[in-house]
Amino acid sequence: QQQQRVPNTEVYLQGSVLKPFTEFLLTRLRGICDSPGDEFRDQESVFTCARHRLRLRWSLLHPHLPAYLRYLGIPESADHRVMSRAAYEVPVFPLDAARQLVEAMGFQHEFDFIAEGTVFRRGLLKVTVYRVRRLLGAESSLVEVSGLGPSSLTAGMVESVLSVRDQLKSLVLLAKHDQKAPKA
Amino acid sequence: MADPFQHQQLAGREGGGGNRGSDDCLDELIDRLRGIRRTLCSLIAKVDEKRPATWPEILNCLAECVSQLSALHRTLRNEKQLRLNDFALLPIGLSPQLDQHLLNHTEGRLGLLNHDSVPHYLRTKLDLSVEHRRNEFQKSSTNIEAQPRTSEQMRKAAETALNSLKQARPDFENEQSERNQTMRSNEQDTAKLLLAINFGIGLN
């Protein structure tokens, strides 16, 4: 029973929008979402251990907020219309202790990136439009529509994700992107 | 548009300041109305500009209005602490003098709370002429419904139109999305961004 309440499943779709059209997309999102959109600039450290990854993410704009430690499972497409994956998210504080904990668990730091953009909320869903800093040659913003919740709510969230996709169809193509790790 | 400040002003006079819950609730309503006014102002500004606004801009503006209005509607409906319908508003002090305080609160729209203005602000029924026109419209609409043959024909025509639209829709959507997507997004960029956030490839 407890298991049914823990938010452990994430359903999502991704796409990207070229720089000149980002403002169109943001205006449309302001229209269809509950919140007017919040700016964010987050840094994310990724740690790895035997093909598992842990992601530690914290806000650079609001350093007093707790960081988030996330585990993301392997993407699968049980529902053929959206991607889904297991996802666990816990707030951790302070940051240094979290980093030490992750390293003590045997994870090694792999890479860091900074994401900068806007986040919107619509019901249980989160819509993010952001650029990845220090990435050469990509002038686009990544667009992500995702819902994280207990598996009992997954069916409803799939429908909402699809409805957002349809409403944004003329501006951005949100699709399933199942990326495999390139072989080294 | 009804003035939110007037409401608060009168409620304040009537309830001697009102209680906390209703104040919060009114504050929220005022916030929402302000948001709507801001959007409408920007819409008007866009329409008035010398360079005509493009359709997407206006549609976006309207979409924003709709979402704000429905949010307002939701708040009004789900009001748990305060039911505005149950409130009686009584203007206690009418004065023919210019009221600076009121003027400030209404941003210069209303300076006098006198026998002329109060009936307009406390109106719960429609203006007589408006009500008359509404009745006329209702009458003419019942006339239309009373003619089953016409409505049947209308229905058939609408259905035919709907069917042809439905048939054309997939083609149109495909064409549209292909045309838009080639312009507005770049598959390679999507892949690059995802590689970067998933596996850290391409970051310097």
Structure tokens at B163: 């069917």
Is residue A44 pLDDT above 90, yes or no?
A: yes
Report the alpha-carbon angle A140-A126-B181, nearest 5. 35
Residues of B in contact with A181 (CB under 8 A): 198-199
Among A15, A17, A113, beta carbon nearest to B196: A113
Number of domains within chain A: 1
Three-state DSSP state, B96: coil
Q: Higher confidence at residue A160 or residue B115?
A: A160
Write down the pLDDT at residue B182.
60
Q: Is residue A95 part of a domain?
A: yes
Q: Is residue A183 part of a domain?
A: no
Q: Is residue A107 part of a domain?
A: yes
Q: Is residue A21 part of a domain?
A: yes
ipTM of this complex? 0.86
CATH code of residue A115: 2.40.320.10
User: Could you say which DSSP state residue A151 is in?
Assistant: G
Q: Which residue of B has its CA nearest to A16?
A: B190
Distance CA B134, CA B13 (A): 34
Among B66, B185, B201, beta carbon nearest to A17: B185
What's the start-to-end Cα distance of chain A, in Å?
42
Q: Digits of tens for pLDDT over chain B (204 positions)?
A: 444 444 444 444 444 445 666 777 788 888 888 889 998 988 888 888 877 777 788 888 888 888 888 888 888 777 665 666 677 777 777 777 787 887 887 777 777 777 777 777 777 777 788 889 988 888 887 776 667 777 888 899 999 999 999 998 888 878 776 666 566 778 888 888 888 888 888 887
Q: Is residue A176 part of a domain?
A: no
Contact B193 A140 (CB under 8 A): yes
Write down the pLDDT at residue B149.
77
- The residue count for chain A: 184
Residues of A in contact with B63 (CB under 8 A): 28, 31-32
Could you read off the pLDDT of A87-144 as tens digits, one per residue?
999 998 888 889 999 999 999 999 999 999 999 999 889 999 999 987 767 788 999 9
Give the rounded distance of the alpha carbon of B193 from its chain centre.
38
Residues 34-93 on B with a CB inside 8 Å of A are 56-57, 60, 63-64, 66-67, 71
Range of the domain at A64: 2-167
Write down the pLDDT at residue A61.
92
- Which of these, B141, B91, B83, lies nearest to B114 by C-alpha position? B91
Write down the pLDDT at residue A160.
92
Write down the pLDDT at residue B116.
78
Write down the pLDDT at residue B181.
57
Structure tokens at B80: 């748990």
Write down the pLDDT at residue B157.
93
Tokens 């650079």 sit on residue:
A60
Angle, helices B128-145 vs B148-184, to 10°: value is 100
Q: Which residues of A touch B (CB under 8 A)?
A: 14-18, 21, 24, 27-28, 30-34, 44, 46, 110-113, 115, 132, 134-140, 142, 169-173, 177, 179, 181-182
Q: What DSSP string runs through A52-100?
A: EEEEEEEESS-TTSPEEEEEE---B-SSTTSEEEEEEEEEESSHHHHHH
Q: Is residue A173 part of a domain?
A: no
Among A10, A12, A16, A45, the strongest candidate for a mutation testing the B interface, having the largest count of B CBs within 10 A, is A16
Could you read off the pLDDT of A50-66 as tens digits, one per residue?
888 899 999 999 988 89
Contact A113 B64 (CB under 8 A): no
Phi-psi region of B202 (alpha: psi -120 to 50; beta: other; left: phi over 0): left
Distance CA B65, CA B38 (A): 10
